[in-house]
Amino acid sequence: MHLLTEPQGILIVDDNPTNLEVLSEALGQVGFKIAVAIDGESALEQVIYHKPELILLDVMMPGIDGFETCQRLKTNPETHDIPVIFMTALSDTTNKVKGLSLGAIDYITKPFQYEEVLARVRIHLKVQNLARTLQKQNILLKEEVDLREQTEVKLLEANNALEVLNQELETRVYERTEKLSQTLNDLQQTQMKLIQQEKMSALGQLVAGIAHEINNPVNFIHGNIVHASEYTQDLLKLVRLYRQHYPQPNIEILAELDHIDVDFLAEDLPKLIGSMELGTDRIRDIVLSLRIFSRLDEAEVKDVDLHTGLDSTLLILNSRLKGDGIRPAINIVKDYADLPKIRCYPGQLNQVFMNILSNAIDALESKAQEDKNWQPEIRIQTEIGEHGKINVHLIDNGPGIPIELREKIFDPFFTTKPVGKGTGLGMSISHEIIVEKHHGTLTCMPTDAEGIQFTVSIPIERPDLVE
């Protein structure tokens, strides 16, 4: 603080010139800047132009006295903080008290003791300076507090704004994540469909290709068997006629007749040709079934008998049903009701039957490995159900599906099979085909014994589907 080194402006007010001179000199000598006034009025005027740091005020003066002067100083806001020290006679206690009550900070007694005057003046100036410093510090502090408060308000506002922004951001991130996971989901579904479609169309094409390749030669054989039969009948008739009219042929012919056993040949050849015809009939049936299964040569929507679809699917799976030395054959029990034709996507329904039946075969095979004497079975039951629907129950006596997994089997990519064996798509695609494309239901329930029952239920009438 540098206030004490500043010139100390002191105003001395006294009507007594001697007093004025003595005091001015004494204080001036120690470095104070001194101003004087000889009465109250001129002192009041003077302080307006030059504000002193301290006033030494005489009590008894002509005109307005010291008390009045002090009172006016104290009531004027410009001057009320200037410290006033009264100068009064030693014995004058009443005046001392009055002066102090009017706002004076101290008094000095006449006749003056200079050391005391100096000490009091110094101490009051110091107090005054300290008070001013304190005031300034107070103002600074207040400003700082204000600033801090303003900053705090601004911080709070910024904080609020930040919070709002944060929330907006979070909402946006959430929305984005939702959208992305939806897109991912869609992508997975699309990928899943593509894989399955590719799989089925490859299978369909393969089957259709084989059917087509076999169809021509089989028809060729089948068509010629009639002629072959006719020609052999003619030839046999001719041989009979020869034997009738030439009962004694030459030795060479006799030996040959004996060698080929003409009687047996005549009896066996028609049978042989008959069984060949039966064989080609069977091959033609198989080719037809293959074509029904693949349905590549037909329109997508068709009125069909579901049993032909089921049978053709069984035929495709025949090699797996038959069994070999290691695997037991799977017993197929058909319990078909008399069903009307239904309008549907036959190729896709066959895919569903294929998926359910091959899952059943997988399950049965795994159980058969554990118990060699056990008889695996698949029962296919059809019926006209309630609400104009046809129900197809596909029941196996395999190991069944635990309840906690049963809820998941229609989820895409859910599989319990080893990597490379199952993609986990069969049931989810089947579910989609039945529910979305055919407005039906596909359910999975445990049977009374072990095993599982899948039920495909689809409406008979689909006026919205156009052939």
Ligand X SMILES: Nc1ncnc2c1ncn2[C@@H]1O[C@H](COP(=O)(O)OP(=O)(O)OP(=O)(O)O)[C@@H](O)[C@H]1O
In the complex, what is the shortest distance from the CB of residue 268 to ligand X, in angstroms, rounded to a whole number? Answer: 48
CB-wise, 110 or 406, nearer to ligand X? 406
CB-wise, 38 or 321, nearer to ligand X? 321
172 contributes a contact to ligand X by CB under 6 A: no
Residues in 406-435 that interact with Mg ion by CB under 5 A: 426
The item of Mg ion, ligand X, none sharing an interface with residue 395, based on CB under 5 to 8 Å by kind, is: none
CB-wise, 359 or 455, nearer to Mg ion? 359
With contacts defined by CB under 6 A, name the span among 40-48, 132-140, 161-169, 357-365 that binds ligand X.
357-365
CB-wise, 44 or 427, nearer to ligand X? 427
Q: Which of 452, 457, 458, 462 is the binder for ligand X (CB under 6 A)?
A: 452
With contacts defined by CB under 5 A, name the span among 146-154, 269-277, 359-367, 390-398 that binds Mg ion.
359-367
With contacts defined by CB under 6 A, name the span among 122-130, 245-253, 282-290, 352-360 that binds ligand X.
352-360
Q: Which of 79, 415, 441, 447 is the binder for ligand X (CB under 6 A)?
A: 415
Q: Which of 46, 416, 441, 443 is the binder for ligand X (CB under 6 A)?
A: 416
317 contributes a contact to ligand X by CB under 6 A: no
The site map against ligand X for 366-405 (x = CB under 6 A) is ------------------------------x-x--x----
- Of the CA atoms within 13 Å of residue 143, those in its CB half-sphere come to 6
154 contributes a contact to ligand X by CB under 6 A: no
In the complex, what is the shortest distance from the CB of residue 288 to ligand X, in angstroms, rounded to a whole number? Answer: 27
Q: Which of 352, 425, 434, 458 is the binder for ligand X (CB under 6 A)?
A: 425
69 contributes a contact to Mg ion by CB under 5 A: no
In the complex, what is the shortest distance from the CB of residue 226 to ligand X, in angstroms, rounded to a whole number? Answer: 45
Q: Which of 59, 409, 456, 458 is the binder for ligand X (CB under 6 A)?
A: 409
Q: Which of 328, 424, 446, 459 is the binder for ligand X (CB under 6 A)?
A: 424
d(CA 95, CA 87): 10
The item of ligand X, Mg ion, none sharing an interface with residue 414, based on CB under 5 to 8 Å by kind, is: ligand X
Residue 342 contacts residue 306 (beta carbons within 8 Å): yes
In the complex, what is the shortest distance from the CB of residue 216 to ligand X, in angstroms, rounded to a whole number? Answer: 33
426 contributes a contact to ligand X by CB under 6 A: yes
With contacts defined by CB under 5 A, name the span among 64-72, 107-115, 353-361, 367-375 that binds Mg ion.
353-361
Residue type (1 letter), 17: P
Q: According to the 3-state scheme, what is the secondary structure of the chain? A: CCHHHCCEEEEEECCCHHHHHHHHHHHHHCCEEEEEECCHHHHHHHHHHCCCCEEEEECCCCCCCHHHHHHHHHHCCCCCCCCEEEEEECCCHHHHHHHHHCCCCEEEEECCCHHHHHHHHHHHHHHHHHHHHHHHHHHHHHHHHHHHHHHHHHHHHHHHHHHHHHHHHHHHHHHHHHHHHHHHHHHHHHHHHHHHHHHHHHHHHHHHHHHHHHHHHHHHHHHHHHHHHHHHHHHHHHHHHHHHHCCCCCHHHHHHHHHHCHHHHHHHHHHHHHHHHHHHHHHHHHHHHHHHHHCCCCCCCEEECHHHHHHHHHHHCHHHHHCCCCCCCCEEEEECCCCCCEEECHHHHHHHHHHHHHHHHHHHHHHHHHCCCCCCEEEEEEEECCCCEEEEEEEECCCCCCHHHHCCCCCCCCCCCCCCCCCCCHHHHHHHHHHHHCCCEEEEEECCCCCEEEEEEEECCCCCCCC
432 contributes a contact to ligand X by CB under 6 A: no
423 contributes a contact to ligand X by CB under 6 A: yes
What is the chain's Cα-based Rg?
62
Q: Which of 8, 69, 280, 359 is the binder for Mg ion (CB under 5 A)?
A: 359
User: What's CA 73's distance to the chain center, in Å?
Assistant: 79
Q: Determine phi and psi for 444, rounding to 5 degrees.
A: -135, 120
The item of ligand X, Mg ion, none sharing an interface with residue 441, based on CB under 5 to 8 Å by kind, is: none
Residue 73 contacts residue 105 (beta carbons within 8 Å): no
In the complex, what is the shortest distance from the CB of residue 200 to ligand X, in angstroms, rounded to a whole number? Answer: 11
The residue ranges that bind Mg ion (CB under 5 A) are 359, 426
Site of interaction with ligand X (CB under 6 A): 355, 359-360, 363, 396, 398, 401, 409, 414-417, 422-428, 452
